[in-house]
Structure 1
Amino acid sequence: MSVPDSEQLIKIAVILETTVSELLVTKVENEEEPDRLAKELSRINTQLAIRNHRMRHVLKIIAVALLVFVALIFAIMALNYAPMSQSKYTKRDAALLLSNRTDVISVSISCDDERETITDKREIDDLFANLSTVRIKSGESYNDAPMTDKFIKIIFEVSDGLSGCTVYVFEDENGFFIEQPYNGIFSIEEKQYAEIFGTFF
C-alpha cells in the first residue's frame, strides 16, 4: 500500500536480516514500483559512497595533521634537551656579558676544591683586558657549567651584590674555551688561555 523511504527501507532490511536488494525484488502489482525503488536504492548507494569517500579524505587529513604535530613536538623537545656537541660549534659574532668594570670590587676564582679571591685593581684590569677581547666563535650555552671536569670558575663580585657575572675557562680535546651560562661558549687561543690562567696561578 505504500513504499518506505530509504531510511525505513534500510531499517526493515536489518530487522528482517536481509538486504535492501532482496526486499526490492518482491513482486508487486504496479510494474513501475520496482523501477522506482531501484532508482532510490541507486541514489542511496551513491550517497553512501560519496559520504564514505569524504570521510576517508577527512580521516587522512586528520592523520597527517597529527603526524606533523607529533613530529614538531619531538623536534622541539630534541632542540631543548639534546646536549650540544662541543665539536660542532658554529661561528657567530658574540661577546661575553661582563659586569661594569667600575662596579667590580673583587673576583672569586675556584678550581677543583681551591678558591681564591682577588681584589688587586691591576690584576682585575688584566683579567678584564683578556676577557673583553673574546668575541669570536661559538654555540649557544644551555649548561650551568662546562661539559668537562677540568675548568676554573670566575665570579665577578660587584658592589651591589646583584649584577655580578660568572664565566668558566676550560680546555678539552677540541681546544680552549670560555663558557658563560646561557650566553655562549667562546673559543680562545692557547696564548689567551695561558694569560688568563697566568693571572691567577
Structure 2
Amino acid sequence: MHDHLTSSTAQSQALSAQAHKVLRNTYMLLGMTLAFSALAAFFSMATGLRLNIFVFFIGAYGLMFLTHKLADSPWGLLTTFGFTGFMGLSLGPILNAYLGAGMGHVVMSALGMTALVFFGLSAFALTTKKDFSFMGKFLMVGGLVLIAGVIANLLLGLQGLQLAISAGFVIFSSALILWQTSEIVHGGETNYIRATVTLFVSIYNLFLSLLSLLGLSND
C-alpha cells in the first residue's frame, strides 16, 4: 500500500514537473511569436501590403497544418514563426483601415481587452487547476460552425451575421484559452509548439473579434 502511494506521488510530481516545463516553454515561445507577429503587422502597415483572401486562407491553413505536422522536430519552430509572421502581415490592412477611419482608440481598446481576457482566463485555469477537457467536443463543433459562418458571410455580407460571428469567436477563443491551458496543466498537451499555435490563434481571433465588435458599435 505504501509502495503504491509512493509510486503515485512520484508520478504526480513528474507530471507536474513536465507540465511546468511545457507551460514555461509555451509562454516563452508565445511571447516571441507575438512580438514577431507585431513586427510583421507594422511592416505590412508601413508598406501597404495587402493579401488576397484566397492567399490568406491557403497561407494561414497551410502553414498551420505544416506547423502541427512538424511540431515534434526543430523545423516546427521555423514554421511557427512563419505562420505567426504571416498572420501578422494579414493584420496590417485591417489596422490601417481602422486608423484611417480615426478609430485608433478602438484598436487600443481591443488590444487592452484581449490582454485582459487572455491573462485573466490563463490565471483562472492555472490557479484553480480545473479540468476543462470536457470542452474539446464543443470546441470542435463550434469551430466548424464559425468557419461555415465566415464563408457564408463572405457571400452575403450581412452586418448582423458579422456581429454574431464576432461574438461567437469571442466566446470560442476564450473557451479555447481555458481548454489549452488546462490541457497543459493536466498533461494532455506535452508539445509546446502545438500549444503555442493554439494560444496564438486564440489571441489573434479574440483581438479581431473584439476589434470588429467595438468598431461596429462605434460606426
TM-score (norm 1): 0.22
**Structure whose alpha-carbon radius of gyration is higher:** 1
User: Which structure shows the higher helix fraction?
Assistant: 2
- Give the structure with the larger strand fraction: 1
Q: Normalising to structure 2: TM-score of the pair?
A: 0.21
